[in-house]
Amino acid sequence: MPPVMPRAGDRADSRRPAAHAAHHWRSIVRAGFHLLYHQAAWSYDAVAAIVSLGAWRGWVESCVADAAAPALEVGCGPGHLQRALWRAGIASVGLDRSPQMLRLAARPPRPPWLVHGDARSLPFADGHFASVIATFPTEVIIDPACVAELRRVLAPGGVLTVLLWAEWARDDGVTRLLDAAARHTGQHSVRTATPAARHDALADALRRAGLATTWHQRPVGAVRLHVLTARAP
C-alpha cells in the first residue's frame, strides 16, 4: 500500500503551533530587553558584564577611535562612551529614549550633553555631526525612519559607525554557553563572523540612503568586534 501523504493544509496546520511558539518567545524576549533598558536599567551594567565576561565597557569605549567632533551617540545607555569621549576631549552628545538609562548616564562624572529623544526623530539640525556612533543597537537601527534621520544629521563627509556584535576568538565551554544564550534571545551568534540578516539589511538601507558602507573587524582582547561604517558624500 502506498504511503498516505499529508494534505498541504495538514502540513500548514502542523507548522502553526511551532510558529506560534516562536512568535510568543520573541515577544517574551522583546519584553525582557525593554525591561532591561527601562525599569530594570539599574541591572544593565551587571548583565552586560556577565555576558561579555567583564569586557563590555572596553568594547564600547573602543569606539572613541571612530569619533570626530561634534559627535552624536545614538542609544548612549549608561554613558560609558560619553565619559570616554569627554576624557578624550571630543565634544559629543549622548541621546537615549530611556529616561532610566539617561539617569545612569548622568551619574558623576556627568557627560556635558545628554538628550532624551528617539533616533527616528532626532532633535538636531541637518548636517550637524561629523560622526554618529551606535554600539550594539536594538532593531530600531534598521527602521527606515531611523536610517533617514542618521543620514540627515551627518555632515558632508561625516561617518556613521555601528558596532554590531562581538565574535569570540576562542572556542571553549564558556563561549559556547554565551553563544547559546545569544541565539536563544535573538541576538547574533558570538562564534561566527557571518553577518545576521538584519545587519545585511542595515548595510543595504544605508547604501540606499546614499552612504558608502564598509565592514571591518576590530580585535579587542579575546574578541573581534564587527563594525559597519557608512560615510556621507
pLDDT digits (tens, 9 = 90+) for 59-96: 999 999 999 999 999 999 999 999 999 999 999 999 99
Average pLDDT score over the chain = 82
pLDDT higher than threshold 80 for residue 195: no
Tell me how far apart the 2 most distant CA atoms of the chain are, in Å. 80
**Higher-scoring residue by pLDDT: 168, 190:** 168
Look at residue 198 in the predicted model and tell me its pLDDT.
66
**Higher-scoring residue by pLDDT: 8, 107:** 107
Q: Are 139 and 164 in contact (CB under 8 A)?
A: no
Q: Residues of the chain with pLDDT > 90: what percent?
A: 56
Closest CA to 79 of 69, 66, 67, 93: 93
**Higher-scoring residue by pLDDT: 20, 165:** 165
Look at residue 165 in the predicted model and tell me its pLDDT.
86
d(CA 117, CA 99): 9
Is the Cα torsion angle 55, 94, 28, 195 positive or negative in sign? Answer: negative
pLDDT higher than threshold 50 for residue 143: yes
Spacing of C-alpha 212 from chain mean position: 19
pLDDT higher than threshold 80 for residue 187: no
Look at residue 50 in the predicted model and tell me its pLDDT.
84
Q: What is the mean pLDDT of residues 146-175?
A: 86
Q: Residues of the chain with pLDDT > 70: what percent?
A: 73
Binning pLDDT at 50, 70 and 90, where does residue 168 land? confident
pLDDT higher than threshold 90 for residue 208: yes
Binning pLDDT at 50, 70 and 90, where does residue 2 land? very low
pLDDT higher than threshold 80 for residue 233: yes
Look at residue 191 in the predicted model and tell me its pLDDT.
45
Q: What is the mean pLDDT of residues 4-27?
A: 51
Cβ-proximal residues to 79 (8 Å cutoff; 6+ apart), any chain: 94, 104, 105, 106, 107, 111, 114
DSSP state of 192: -
**Higher-scoring residue by pLDDT: 99, 15:** 99
Look at residue 203 in the predicted model and tell me its pLDDT.
94
In CATH, what is the architecture of 44-231?
3-Layer(aba) Sandwich (3.40)
